[in-house]
Structure 1
Amino acid sequence: MEQLRDAAAEGRIDFEELDTRLEQALNSKTHAELAVLTADLPRSDTAAGQPPLVLKGGLHGASRGPGRWEVPGHVIAHGGLGGVKVDFTRVECRLTEVTVEAYGEMSGVTIVIPDGWAADTSGMDPAFGGLTDKTTPDRLPGTPLIRLAGSGGTGGVVIRHPNRRERRKLERNPAQG
């Protein structure tokens, strides 16, 4: 069931297919019946040996970036009590898509993407905290699409391009990594 949920979060199957397969999994009586439910799933970056990046806000918060870091095909962010910020502004990403699974929980998750990158937020459940999408749909050729999934929780999830302060910092230190 975990493999099926991961596949849906990564966009490898849609949510209707997830519901159908989960129901079949619950009614399965043998390991062979279960194996059939995941045998035809498209490979993910995790399956190719690249584990997801997991960030947990905990009590004090967590962040990744702004700096150079290797972007996996799947990022999981749990806001916890301290919140999480994922900043893609200084990365070099050769992937065409990156799945970001965000759970706002109590303090929320903020995702910052460079200008020219686009986001698909259709897989997000805004929940109580909501989803704020301040990105533009103008995706430049060769840039990744951020496919957002998860739940806003009570803290909410924000995806945006750099704000004024972040832009000034990027302009002052263009080669910083």
Structure 2
Amino acid sequence: MTDELPELRASDADRERVAEILRDALAEGRLDMEEFGERLDATYQARTYGELAPITRDLPVPGATAPKVDMVKHPEGGVSWADRIVGGEGASTWAVAVMSGFQRKGRWTAPKRFDCVAFWGGGEIDLREADFADREIVINCVAIMGGVDVIVPPGVEVVVRGIGIMGGFDQREEGVPGDPGAPRVIVTGFAFWGGVGVRRKLAKAERQRLREERRQEKLERRASRGELQGSMREEHRDVWRHGHGHGHEERRGRERGED
């Protein structure tokens, strides 16, 4: 939808194009069912381009590449991977879980090589808020009748080189291009009757920020629809009053003529 002519009337084809974008966003997980239903209702109620434009303003245009989302921001509000590659030895270089579990998460420095073992247990290595000791780090996982989850933020390149016997390494995130200057995470190791998962997730603070933005947009759309409906009701009242008053004057004129 164009912003240059917001008052131009939208056609049925325009509304269907917006509905198709919403269906794609639902399928990709960009919208939940509640948001999808609200936006779809607003789409079919929209009369102008100005009403249609906000409905998909935060969604990618079909055929275009969606911008990547970086996870850690400067205090001033900027974004830079260089600030997260700090060098040094790392805050922790190994972890073991035997019929138990371990976690490495929050603000910590991931070393050049992190070794971990999960035997009848589980572990989580969360890099979403971590700093990195080097531009490339290795996470070596041994999972025997247990499992290890590696969580990385968007923008990080992932390479999976592990070996699984009656187990496996998750390779779904491999091959996704990284941001310029972002770290590279190599996941290696061995899984026997166990598994090593690799997931790409937003940090909690970023999810909350995006959720708040969607909530504000939802409130603005509801307010806009309320103003539009109020304006339409006022217009209908004006039309009714005009017609009723005109008929009343005609009746009074006829009565005066008869007198």
TM-score, normalization by structure 2: 0.43
Asked if structure 1 preserves the Cα contact closer than 8 Å seen for 2:88 and 2:133, the reply is: no
Asked if structure 1 preserves the Cα contact closer than 8 Å seen for 2:129 and 2:203, the reply is: no
Equivalent residue for 1:128, pick from 166, 172, 178: 166
Unaligned runs of 5+ in 2: 1-86, 211-259
Q: Which amino acid aligns with 2:93?
A: L
Aligned to 1:53: 93
Equivalent residue for 2:200, pick from 161, 173, 176: 161
Aligned to 1:62: 102
TM-superposition CA deviations, 1:103-127 (whole Å, max 9, x none) = 11111111001111111113x1122
Q: Distance in 2 between matches of 1:49 and 1:171?
A: 30
Are positions 1:150 and 2:177 aligned together?
no
Alignment of 1:12-161 (within 5 A): 50=89, 53-65=93-105, 67-93=106-132, 95-122=134-161, 124-135=162-173, 137-161=176-200
TM-superposition CA deviations, 1:109-167 (whole Å, max 9, x none) = 11001111111113x112221111231512011111111211122111111212xxx65
Q: Distance in 1 between matches of 2:97 and 2:206?
A: 25
Cα offset, 1:171, TM superposition: 2.1
Asked if structure 2 preserves the Cα contact closer than 8 Å seen for 1:117 and 1:146, the reply is: yes
Q: How many residues align?
A: 122
Q: Which amino acid aligns with 1:60?
A: S
Unaligned runs of 5+ in 1: 1-47
Cα offset, 1:173, TM superposition: 7.5
Q: Which gives a bigger RCO, structure 1 or 2 (Cα 8 Å, sep 6+)? A: 1
Give the share of equivalent positions with the same residue, in percent. Answer: 21
Asked if structure 1 preserves the Cα contact closer than 8 Å seen for 2:115 and 2:139, the reply is: yes
Cα offset, 1:84, TM superposition: 0.8
Larger helix percent: 2
